Amino acid sequence: MPELMVNIDHVATLRQARGTYFPDPVYAAGIAEMAGASGIIVHLREDRRHIKDRDLRMLREVVRTKLNLEMAATDEMVGIATEVLPDMITLVPEKREELTTEGGLDVASLRERLIKVVKKVKEKGIKVSMFVDPEEKQIKASKDMGADMIEIHTGRYCDAITDVEREEEFKKVVKAAKMGKELALGVNAGHGLHYHNVRRIALIDEIDELSIGHSIIARAIFVGLDRAIRDMLQLIR
């Protein structure tokens, strides 16, 4: 049974919609931990559209479970990560114009840069995960580059329109999870998971952690964050 890591970016999205100081993602982290989340995730984007540097610093002080910083493999972000010291980072591709992370990292083609980033971050005792599509080439490259974990991109499974397509994408996630474990990598999964599609993914034995954000924060508007997280935990368990 995987652990639930809650991404709280969209608490900050709501705050930024008005440029106020509320709702504060730091409060969300406390509530998420009390509701049973095993960790807190934030993506500090280059354009700071939701999570700000101040949030990350305060979350480092407050989070007692595990803090996972999603970030692009840039010098700026490596500087921040090695100063703030999250428990782990997840390297993701990042484009300014995208609404959300669109695809997995092309680990194989970013070899030189990623090797440097992994080395610098791991020297500080921070674990490294790579967000990848469920493809053999990407998983093997993540291992070669010294990653501790992979996060399998579940977006295509979640977005599939037909049953046939969904089944194909599901099989790819299962295969990728097994391959990750065979290579002695930690295996996480996420993107696009919600209350109606999470169960099958949660049943994959090889998956250690699920990273879920938007659907939980969206439900929290109606039922509160505590309940939204407990509902998700119940489905996963």
Residues annotated as part of the active site: 43, 70, 191
By CB under 6 A, tell whether 236 contacts ligand PXP: no
By CB under 6 A, tell whether 193 contacts ligand PXP: yes
Nearer to ligand PXP, 39 or 213 (CB): 213
Residue 212 beta carbon to ligand PXP: minimum distance, rounded to whole angstroms: 4
Of residues 94-133, those binding ligand PXP (CB under 6 A): 100-101, 131
Of residues 141-160, those binding ligand PXP (CB under 6 A): 151
Q: Mapping DSSP to helix (H, G, I), strand (E, B) and coil, where does residue 104 land?
A: coil
Q: What are the residue ranges of helices labelled H in the chain?
A: 9-18, 25-35, 53-62, 75-84, 111-123, 136-144, 155-159, 163-182, 198-202, 214-223, 225-236
Q: Using CB under 6 A, which of 3, 70, 169, 206 touches ligand PXP?
A: 70
By CB under 6 A, tell whether 138 contacts ligand PXP: no
Helix (H) or strand (E) holding 20: none
CA distance 85 to 122: 10
Peptide bond into 134 cis (omega under 30): no
By CB under 6 A, tell whether 90 contacts ligand PXP: yes
Residue 195 beta carbon to ligand PXP: minimum distance, rounded to whole angstroms: 11
Amino acid at 151: E
Task: Please return the burial class of 76, using the count of CB atoms within 10 Å of its CB with bins 0-12, 13-18 and 19+.
Answer: exposed
By CB under 6 A, tell whether 39 contacts ligand PXP: no
Binding site for ligand PXP (CB under 6 A): 7, 9, 43, 70, 90, 92, 100-101, 131, 151, 190-193, 211-215
